[in-house]
């Protein structure tokens, strides 16, 4: 049963059903493999007795920029086919950084955001698809007929769609909106794909830079070598474990 916090008033009835199922005279009728699994968000009125009789498992988001970057790459089995795959990998690294920074700022409470926003992985997925389309997404093994490789990447449009429409669609505070626009303009521009080892603005010599020097790699099929697992391994080995204030701009 999922999202039990949305039906708090029904929990007493659920407990009554559980009591009837597990009566001593009915134990022999219960399959030994039977399990009742409930999921819920924290709620002040959730049944204490139900919690006390349960085995509780909590899930918390990973803490730190590095952990959040690793989580995003671990969720990918493979990268999509893209015409400008090398540039796309760099742009997606920037998007992973952008997403991780927005989420991680929540730990600073009102110093991070004036209002708490529910940024989540669906925001990231929509923006990744956006980058894929602008860089020549392959459908059924070929790029769209209207795609022109020579057309410059429209960074201003990408900044708007990410900072105003997708992630920014959740933002209600004017100063928070200004902040997310600053992040978008600093990350999503030509420097993100032109610099071979792009690094986030203001991070100096800290190990937050794009982990691969693809220009000097002679692998013929780079899109096969540089898969999500490859990025995961490099980020895990190289990126800073402790986030200094400069990481947040």
Residues 2-46 have pLDDT tens digits of 889 898 999 999 888 888 877 766 667 778 888 889 988 888 899
- At residue 61, the pLDDT reads 67
Do 174 and 101 sit in the same domain of this protein?
Answer: yes
242 lies in which domain range?
A: 65-248
Asked if residue 177 and residue 143 are part of one domain, the reply reads yes
191 and 214 assigned to the same domain: yes
99 and 13, same domain (yes or no): no
Question: Could you tell me the pTM of the whole model?
Answer: 0.77
Judge if 78 and 28 occupy the same domain: no
Asked, for residue 134, whether it belongs to a domain, the answer is: yes
- 31 with 114, same domain: the answer is no
Report which of 203, 176, 224, 171 is spatially closest to residue 94, judged by C-alpha positions. Answer: 203
CATH number of domain containing 115: 1.10.8.720
Residue 67 has a pLDDT of 94
The terminus-to-terminus CA distance of the chain in angstroms comes to 42
Same domain, 11 and 90: no
CB of 207 within 8 A of CB of 239? yes
Average pLDDT over residues 172-183: 96
| pLDDT grade for 220, boundaries at 50, 70 and 90 | low
Instruction: Classify each residue of 186-205 as buried b or exposed e, where b means 16 or more C-beta atoms within 10 Å of its C-beta.
Output: bbbbeebbeeeebbbeebee
Q: Is 118 in the same domain as 208?
A: yes
Q: Which token pair is 81? A: 């086919």
Of the listed ranges 25-29, 62-66, 136-140, 147-151, the one predicted with least confidence: 25-29
**DSSP codes joined into one string, the chain:** ---GGGGGGGHHHHHHHHHHHT-GGGGGGS-TT----------TTS-HHHHHTS------PPPSHHHHHHHHHHT-SSPPPBTTHHHHHHHHHHHHHHHHHHHHGGGGGGGT-SS-----HHHHHHHHHHHHHHT-BEETTEE-TT--TTSPP-HHHHHHIIIIIISGGG--SHHHHHHHHHHHHHHSSTHHHHSTT---TT-TTSS-S-S--GGG---S-HHHHS-HHHHHHHHHHHS-SS--GGGG-
Mean local confidence (pLDDT), 95-121? 94
Residue linked to tokens 């032109």: 194
Collect all residues with Cβ–Cβ distance below 8 Å to 173 and sequence separation of at least 6.
113, 114, 115
Given a cut of 80, whether residue 175 has pLDDT beyond it is yes
Contact indicator for 7, 16 with CB cutoff of 8 Å: no
Q: Is residue 130 part of a domain?
A: yes
* Mean pLDDT for the chain overall: 89
């Amino acid at each position: 049963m999922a999202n039990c916090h949305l039906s708090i008033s029904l929990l007493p009835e659920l407990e009554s059903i559980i009591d009837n199922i597990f009566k001593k005279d009915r134990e022999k009728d219960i399959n030994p493999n039977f399990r009742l699994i409930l999921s819920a968000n924290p709620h002040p009125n959730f049944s204490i007795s139900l919690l006390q009789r349960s085995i509780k498992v909590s899930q918390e988001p990973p803490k730190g920029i590095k952990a959040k970057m690793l989580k995003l790459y671990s969720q990918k089995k493979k990268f999509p086919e893209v015409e400008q795959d090398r540039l796309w990998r760099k742009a997606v690294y920037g998007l992973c950084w952008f997403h991780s920074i927005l989420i991680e700022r929540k730990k600073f409470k009102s110093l991070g955001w004036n209002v708490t926003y529910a940024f989540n992985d669906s925001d990231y997925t929509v923006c990744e698809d956006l980058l894929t389309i602008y860089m020549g997404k392959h459908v059924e093994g070929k790029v769209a007929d209207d795609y022109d490789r020579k057309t410059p990447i429209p960074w201003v449009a990408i900044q708007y769609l990410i900072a105003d429409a997708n992630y920014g669609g959740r933002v209600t505070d004017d100063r928070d909106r200004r902040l997310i626009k600053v992040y978008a303009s600093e990350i999503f521009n030509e420097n993100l794909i032109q610099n071979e080892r792009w690094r986030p603005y203001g991070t100096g010599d800290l190990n937050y830079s794009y982990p691969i020097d693809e220009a000097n790699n002679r692998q013929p099929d780079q899109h096969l070598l540089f898969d999500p697992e490859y990025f995961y391994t490099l980020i895990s080995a190289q990126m800073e474990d402790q986030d200094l204030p400069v990481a947040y701009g």
